[in-house]
Structure 1
Amino acid sequence: MDLSELLEIAEKERQSQKALRIRCCVAAGCLSSNALAIKEGLEKAVTEAGLADTVEVSGVGCLRLCCQGPLVQVDDLVEPDNPGILYEKVTPDQSSAIAASLQSKPSVNTLTPLQKGNLTQPFFTQQQAIVLENSGKIDPERIEAYIAASGYQALGHVLREMSPTEVIHAVTRSGLRGRGGAGYPTGLKWATVAKATAERKFVVCNADEGDPGAFMDRSVLESDPHRVLEGMAIAAYAIGATQGYIYVRAEYPLAISRLQLAIRQAQRLGLLGSQIFDSPFDFRIDIRIGAGAYVCGEETALMASIEGKRGVPSPRPPYPAERGLWGFPTLINNVETFANIAPILRNGADWFASIGTEKSKGTKVFALAGKICNTGLIEVPMGTSLRQIVEVMGGGVPDGGSAKAVQTGGPSGGCIPASAFDTPVDYESLTQLGSMMGSGGMIVMDQNTSMVDVAHYFMEFCRDESCGKCIPCRVGTVQLHQLLTKIRDRKATSADLELLEELCDMVKHTSLCGLGQSAPNPVLSTLQYFREEYLELINAHATV
């Protein structure tokens, strides 16, 4: 395939679009609430109403406002500026009513009345979609839909008109930092692997999303899998790799099936495999399914698992960029990082660099969960304040409650108090507060939440997920959990609190990998901002 053939596919797909489109969310959350039956009911209702020539029913990825799912959105493609109509908590029996509404007929009888959402509310209007630009808009199981949305054009442009060095320079100039949590400069990582001399190199996509409350990567893979494949192919061209792997956890069966389908489709059209876009560039992508070990999100443990070994971390250096899979230089980025690549190459590095803050460029995808009205998926420019996310876009705490804290960064992150909600969300600001960006999970806690219980929960998680290779993590997380249990049960003394802090410091500074090094963060941050809750439980023991 050459670029002109790609553009022909895109134009043909656009020409086939009908005047009205009904988008039915078929991401995992809505599917679990019978969305497939809703889609089938809509298709039947549209046919029976004689609207098949003018109305298209399409299954799409995540429509973001997960708390109101299943979601169905109706768009008028003749008037693209019209935001359309969003239907919330749709049931299969409402399909006929939605079809009837397109003809301005009175709604047919349904067991439940249609519930309309508000597409002009801040949850939607204050998002800026780069990674999620196709999410909820295209059919994730049709490569033609992705191509019609400018898919694979960046890859074609890169292979025809740019050298590998120019690609790396563009990524570097964009300011993109790794979205997996640490925020390492993406261009610098690519340049390091590109400079390594070896007979083989690898590209790995880390899709082992294991943080409690996080579902960003899953949603991207379910909603727009070709975007990740295209980003990986561009990266492979830039560093000189011919083989890629996507490491995804077995708990994501829908993401896995859609990735498998996307890979087959791309291979069929010559967009993966040999001589891509009639160039000398060859690139193959395979999927490796993880068994759910949280530690395999750590890059050295992930590589061990891909190699068929037990997934445990190894000391660094050497880093994967120098010595990775089977001893060869390996580039590892997460799903969201790769999903940013095609837009950067398509729109320009300066465009991306103009978004966000001085040191944190672009946007960030977050999964809003916990005690908040609007749970779901958002994408906002770096630098957006926590208050804007929680109180404005998230709608605040349900039933008139107040937000007490936000936990960011998963078990590796910390709990940020409401008094710090005006902090901009970027890498440096969150680190200064004792938390971290992480992959993008954001859990809101209300005034009734015990922060000691929160620390206890995350420590239990880290204890259970420790691979056991190093003593500080294997033993330290157990002892930290025991101390937190003692405090929670009002059996601890001030000496136990002092020991808790000493042990946190030891585990943080002596553990082998990021799991152990960051395991104390929820404890340390709750001690920093909510120490009185610990003291209250300890004093309760002293007065008994």
Structure 2
Amino acid sequence: MTHEELLEIIENEKAAQAKYKHIIHVCASTGCVSANSEKILTDLEAAIQERGLENEVFVMKVGCMGLCAAGPIVSIQPEGLLYGEMTPEDVPAILDSLDGEPIKEKLIDTNQPFFYRQEKNVLENTGQINPERIEDYIAQGGYSALLKALTDLSPNQVIKEVLDSGLRGRGGGGYPTGLKWSTVAKVGGDLKFVVCNADEGDPGAFMDRSILESDPHRVLEGMAIAAYAIGASQGVVYLRAEYPLAIKRLRTAIRQAEKMGLLGQNICNTPFSFKLDLRLGAGAFVCGEETALMQSVEGNRGMPRPRPPYPAQSGLWEHPTLINNVETFANVPNIISDGAAWFARIGTENSKGTKVFALTGKIKHTGLIEVPMGITLREIIFEIGGGIPNGRKFKAVQTGGPSGGCIPEECLDTPVDYESLKKLGSIMGSGGMIVMDESSNMIDMARFFMEFSRDESCGKCVPCRVGTTQLYEILGKFLDGTATEEDMTKLEELCDMVRNSSLCGLGQAAPNPIVSTLRYFRQEYLDKMKKEPAKAEVTE
């Protein structure tokens, strides 16, 4: 694949779409598919045939359009109309409206903050291209960054661009991506690996799944650029088996990229070769931890191991290994194409770029969003998210999944960046954001996440295996009103023990939901404590 061949594909795709008067995009991500969007797609194709509109109207399956609460979603281009809550019965009305009046009762207002307050980088193609056609991705400039890296930049120059961009790992830890890449690049060895951690297991999180379903080639391109930068020749995408649509589209994308010479041997007619494989996880949350993930890839039980050695020195099969998550790799192509300075202008001093969030819970506009770092929680929840439905009051927002914390109303003006959320007792995490209203019981919420952590503990270390079980049981005593002051003391001591004694980051962060609710909603715990009988007054 050369620059000329890429340009030829781009021109051909533009010409192919330019001949149509209308292009209809139908969301075909998991959420909309579960609500029968595939039937809408096939019915539209059949109706277009029946009406003889094949030369005027084109139907395209696309990925997530963001506003999941309104799915299935259909958009009409070039008019820019967006329809929500569509059904197969709406197909005739869609075609009738193409040169007439829009379907007013189905129309989504695209001039609301949910759309204009976002800044899309990773999600720029989602809802715009067919994720099962590599030509669609190339037509949007896809794989030009890889070609630029291979022909115009040295591996060290690629790493410098990523370093200068300020990109930090989007998997939760926030470690500087360029620094991690440079560490692996400096390690010697004939064989190195690049691993994409797509084992997204947080309750309420669907960021990585949506990216892989909607724009899989962006992730593959980012991985290939990373492999070139660090000197790796093999890669693995570790994806949970519960994501069948993402698996299907990722496999299709890998085959297409190999066929076009964008993966495999001598990529783009250069000496660089990169072979990519897919490995499926069985749903163990602990395999999101990088050392447990590597154990699983090797065919062993997914259990963390002590560090050092770090994966950069001794990873898969004891070879140097670079591990980043889906969103991290998805940021790379634009950094190489547009430059580090372009990326670094977005966000805050220490948290650059944008962040993808899955916005769920007691909020009007549930869905997938991408916002610049530094935006406040209040702006996300009340402007982009549309606030709390049914006239209820906001109570808390939980960020970071089971490893995160619950943030109260008085902290809503906190900017969303790594350091600010950490000061509040929470974390950025991979991007799950669950909103709670006044009806939410914070002890019950903490117990839900503790039950999750208890069930997902690999059992290797005692503090996590036993500690999470004991924490879960004590929270149960608070819920049924039998907890005492001794239980409160024990709860706090156990949280401290588990945080400081567990082997891996997942165990260490497991008490965070309890610690944060004790910090901000302590009165709920005190109200649930068993009332001690008053002591009788002693008289002479």
TM range (shorter): over 0.9
Residue 235 (structure 1) aligns with: 226
Q: CA deviation at 1:400?
A: 1.0
Residue 48 of structure 2 is matched in structure 1 by: 46
2:112 maps to which of 121, 131, 135: 121
Residue segments in structure 2 that go unaligned for 5+ positions in a row: 535-540
* Matching residue of 1:103: 99
Quote the residue 1:12 is aligned against. 12
Instruction: Give the paired residue count.
Output: 533
Q: Does the residue aligned with 2:280 lie in a helix, a strand or coil?
A: strand
In 2, Cα distance between the equivalents of 1:431 and 1:9? 46
Confirm or deny: 8 A CA contact 1:180 1:333 kept in the other structure: yes
Paired with 2:101 and 2:58, the residues of 1 have a C-alpha distance of 19
Matched, 1:473 2:491: no
- 1:205-216 matches, within 5 Å, as 205-216=196-207
Cα distance in 2 for residues equivalent to 1:106 and 1:421: 38
The answer as to whether partners of 1:251 and 1:292 remain within 8 angstroms in 2 is yes
In structure 2, distance between residues paired with 1:456 and 1:370: 17
Q: Which of 359, 368, 371 is the matching residue for 1:368?
A: 359
CA distance in 2, matches of 1:300, 1:532: 39
Q: Deviations over 1:401-453 (max 9, x none)?
A: 11100000000000000110000000000000000000000000001101000
Is 1:177 matched up with 2:179? no
User: For residues 250-265 of structure 1, what are the structure 2 equivalents within 5 Å?
Assistant: 250-265=241-256
- Matched with 1:457 is 448
Contact 1:90 1:114 in 2 (8 A): no
Equivalent residue runs for 1:271-286 within 5 Å: 271-286=262-277
Deviation at 1:24, TM superposition (A): 0.2
Aligned in 2, Cα 1:34/1:202: closer, same or farther, shift over 3 Å? same
RMSD: 1.3
Q: Tell whether the 8 Å contact from 1:490 to 1:541 is kept in structure 2 after alignment.
A: no
Match of 2:27 in 1: 25
Distance 1:285 1:403 in 2: 45
Structure 1 unaligned regions, length at least 5? 77-81, 108-112
Aligned residue for 1:79? none
| TM-score w.r.t. length of structure 2 | 0.97
The 5-angstrom pairing of residues 361-400 of structure 1 reads 361-400=352-391
- Match for residue 338 of structure 1 among 315, 323, 329: 329
1:48 deviates by: 2.6
Alignment partner of 1:535 is 2:537: no
1:515 matched residue in structure 2: 506
Question: 1:539: Cα distance to partner?
Answer: 4.5
Residue 482 of structure 2 corresponds to which residue in structure 1?
491
185, 188, 211: which one pairs with 2:179?
A: 188
CA distance in 2, matches of 1:436, 1:19: 47
CA deviation vs aligned residue, 1:12-68 (integer Å, no higher than 9, x gap): 011100232110000000000111000111112223333221221100000110011
- Structure 1 contact 491–541 (Cα < 8 Å) conserved: no
Question: Compared with structure 1, are the counterparts of its residues 541 and 71 closer, same or farther at alpha carbon in structure 2 (3 Å cutoff)?
Answer: farther
Q: Give the structure 1 partner of residue 70 of structure 2.
A: 68
Q: Show the counterpart of 2:83.
A: 87
Q: Are the aligned partners of 2:360 and 2:433 in contact in 1 as well (CA < 8 Å)?
A: yes
SS at structure 1 position matched to 2:313: coil
Distance in 2, Cα, partners of 1:397 & 1:114: 23
* Matching of residue 150 in structure 1 with residue 141 in structure 2: yes
Q: Which amino acid aligns with 2:419?
A: E
Q: Is the 8 A contact 2:482 2:530 kept in 1?
A: no
The secondary structure found in structure 2 opposite 1:360 is: coil
Deviation at 1:542, TM superposition (A): 6.1
531-540 vs 151-160, which deviates more? 531-540
Counterpart CA distance in 2 for 1:434 and 1:254 is: 35
The one-letter amino acid of 1:51's match is L
